[in-house]
Structures are given as structure tokens and as C-alpha cells.
Chain A
Amino acid sequence: RKEVEQDPGPFNVPEGATVAFNCTYSNSASQSFFWYRQDCRKEPKLLMSVYSSGNEDGRFTAQLNRASQYISLLIRDSKLSDSATYLCVVNLSTGKLIFGQGTTLQVKP
């Protein structure tokens, strides 16, 4: 079983739709949590950190449930420019990042 599991998709949604991604992690000692975005043939870039209290950045909302070891990302009012792969990432206490497989989002006009 992978340490971080995500549905690879693809998720095909129309512009303006709301879309949600989920991931689960297996290591209960995980310290911090993130969503990264990766465009085709580009490097991953930090989208946002994820906290138990939930956090929002514009159209993006991230949530962490430590008890269920579950992380989510909600994108409202999808834009064409949101098309990318979204990587769920866990940081162990050592600092190394453990990535999920990534979920591909394609926003259609």
C-alpha cells in the first residue's frame, strides 16, 4: 500500500464547476501536509499548506482530518488555467516529502 494515496483521475469538469480531490495517508507520525500543483513537464510548485482547522486561499480550500488521515482540496469556480496535476504531499518529521501519485484535472470551456 502506498504511503499517500490519491485517485489519479482524470477529472474532466466544465469551467465554473466545483471539484474536490481527496487523499489518504498511512503514516500517523506525519507532521505537515501540503497540496502541490504540477503542470505538464514542469516542476511541482507549492499550492497551499493544509491545517486541521482548514484553510482557504481564494477559490481553493484545503482540509485535514488527522483522525481519519484524510486530506482534501476543493476548487470553486474552476478556470481553464486550473488544469494541472494536483499532488497530495505529506512531510514526515525528517523533512522529506512523500508524494501521492497525483490527480489530473482538466477544465473544459
Chain B
Amino acid sequence: GAGVSQSPRYKVAKRGQDVALRCDPISGHVSLFWYQQALGQGPEFLTYFQNEAQLDKSGLPSDRFFAERPEGSVSTLKIQRTQQEDSAVYLCASSLVGRDSEQYFGPGTRLTVT
């Protein structure tokens, strides 16, 4: 069956540009998570949705980062005025309802800010 998909897989942005990263979770998965993974590090939590409600955005590094999931399925992570330190892999994960449900990760979007 289809897993979590993300697009684009690779994105190169010039410093100061805005970018939008898309996540298509597994059908029927209620929970959706975004993580940021810098080179050589483990993923770091950014934000969490249950259906369309953003229940936790404590990991967003600045107000340049914004995430939405308006219809409770597809989610978009937007980064405004990108900076070099935003260069990382952005991973999306989805899970069935329940905090202990296994999270399934998408392949990630590798963002490079030049």
C-alpha cells in the first residue's frame, strides 16, 4: 500500500526565498508530525497535528516556520525568508490515532539554502 509521500524530494532555495513542503500521509492516519533532521543529527520535532488541529508547535524554530493541515489530510510546511541554517531534511510522519501508535515516515525533503 502507499506510504507517506513528500514533495519535492529536493529543493534548492536562495537565501530569503519562501518554500513550501508537502506531505501526503497514509490514508486514514489521524496524526501527522513534522521533524527537521540536520546532517549527522537525529530528527528533531517541529509540530504535530491531530486531524486539522495543530496540537503542538513547540518545536518550530522561529515565526518564519508555519505548518497547516486544513482538511485533516495533506499538510504543508512553509518556511519564509529562508536562511542557511534552515538547510536540512524535513521529515513528515503519520500515525493512527493514539499517542503510542507507530509513526511511519516519508522519504523527506532535502532543503538546501544557498
Count how many chain B residues have C-beta atoms less than 8 Å from C-beta atoms of the other chain. Answer: 24
* B72 interfacial by beta-carbon distance below 8 Å: no
Count how many chain A residues have C-beta atoms less than 8 Å from C-beta atoms of the other chain. Answer: 21
Q: B107 near A42 (CB under 8 angstroms)?
A: yes
Interface 1/0 per residue, B35-55 and A, CB below 8 Å: 100001111110010000001
Given contacts A43-B107, A43-B108, contact A97 B99 (CB under 8 A): no
Q: A32 near B105 (CB under 8 angstroms)?
A: no
* Residue positions of A touching B, CB distance < 8 A: 4, 8, 31-32, 42-46, 87, 91, 93-102
Q: Could you jot down 9 A-B contacts, CB within 8 Å?
A: A8-B40, A31-B99, A43-B107, A94-B48, A94-B99, A95-B95, A96-B33, A97-B33, A99-B44
**CB < 8 Å: which of B55, B99, B106 contacts A43?**
B106
